[in-house]
Structure 1
Amino acid sequence: MAKRWKPNVTVAAVIERDGRFLLVEEETTDGLMLNTPAGHLDPGESPAEGCIRETLEETAHHFTPTALLGVYMARTRRAEDITYMRFAFTGTLGAFEANRPLDKGIVRTLWMTAEEIRASTVRHRSPLLLQCVEDFLAGKRHPLDIIHLDGSVNDPGAG
C-alpha cells in the first residue's frame, strides 16, 4: 500500500505597525533566515490558538487574531519532500513579556517595511512570507469563523 500523503499544517501571524511588519530572524540549516512568527499546529488546538501560541513563543508578544488572511500551500524538496499548508492570520499585537525567552533557534525579532521584505527574499525561510504580506497590503481579510472547529479537536478522548 502506498504511503498516505499528508501536508504539514502551520500557522503564521502577519502583524503590521506603523508601516512595518514584525518578523523573526531564526537559525536554520541554511543560515539566518527571516519569517513571520510561525510554526506547526499542535494537536488539540485550532489554527487561531496555534497562531497565538507561536507568536508568543517566537516574539514574547501576546497576539489576538482578528482575521484570516488566507490559506497557503508550498512545497519544499530539500532534505525531503514536504508540503506545507499555512493558515495566516492578522490581528492585534498585545503585551510584551520582556523576560520571556524566545523559542529555540529564534535569534531576534525585527520590524521591516514591505520594501525591505521584498528586497530580502533570498533570506525568507518560507516562500509564503512575501505572499502573506502582499495579501495583507491588498486588504485581504476573512472572518475567523470561516474555519469550523469540530468539538472533537479539543477532546483528547475523541476518535
Structure 2
Amino acid sequence: MQTPWKPSVTVAAIIEKDGRFLLVEEETTDGLMLNNPAGHLDPGETPADGCAREVLEESAYAFRPTALVGIYLARSRRSSTGLDTTYLRIAFCGELGTHDPTRPLDKGIVRTLWLTAEEVRASAARHRSPLVLQCIEDYLAGARHPLSAIYTHPSVMVGRA
C-alpha cells in the first residue's frame, strides 16, 4: 500500500514596519537562507496561534495576526539532501508587538533583518522558499482576508495543554 501524500503545513508572518519587512536569516542544509518568520503548525493550535508562536520563537517579537494574506502551495527539492517536500503555507499579517532582546532565538536562526521590498527582491537567490517573496508581493498588492476564512474545529484543541 502506497503512503498517502501529505503536504507539510506551515504558518508565516508578513510583517512590515516603516517600509521594511522582517525576515530571519537561518542555517539550512543549503547554507544561510532568508525566510519570513515561519514554521510548522503544531498539534493543538490554530494557524493564527501557530503564527504568533513562530514569530516570537524566531524573532523575539510579539505578534498578533489580524488578517490572512493567503494560502500557498509550493514544492521544495533540496539539492543537498534530495528531500522532496510540498509545503502548504498559511500567511498572515498583523500587529507587531514588543521586542524582547533577551529572548534567545530558535535553534538555527542566526539573526533578524529589516529589508525593503526592493532588498527582498534583490536577495531572491537566498530565499528559503519562493513563497518568501510571493507573500510579500501579495501583501503589497493589498491581499487581506478575514481571519474567519480559516476555521479550526474544536476537536483540534482536545488534549491541548
Q: For each residue in 1:27-86, what CA deviation from the matched residue of structure 2 results, as whole angstroms up to 9, or x when unmatched? A: 111111000000000000011010000000000000000000000010012222210000
> Partner residue of 2:9?
9
> Partner residue of 1:121?
124
**What is the TM-score normalised by the length of structure 2?**
0.95
Report deviation, 1:127. Answer: 1.1
Report deviation, 1:98. Answer: 1.4
The Cα RMSD (Å) is 0.9
> Partner residue of 2:155?
152
Alpha-carbon separation, structure 2, partners of 1:133 and 1:98? 25
Alpha-carbon separation, structure 1, partners of 2:156 and 2:129? 27
* Amino acid in structure 2 at the alignment position of 1:83: T
Contact 2:76–2:129 (8 Å) recurs in 1: no
Runs of 4+ in structure 1 off by over 6 angstroms are none
Report deviation, 1:156. Answer: 2.1
> Partner residue of 2:33?
33
> Partner residue of 1:86?
89
Alpha-carbon separation, structure 2, partners of 1:83 and 1:101? 29
Q: Percent of aligned positions with the same letter in both sequences?
A: 69
**What is the TM-score normalised by the length of structure 1?**
0.97
> Partner residue of 2:101?
98
Gaps of 5+ in 1: none
Alpha-carbon separation, structure 1, partners of 2:84 and 2:129? 14
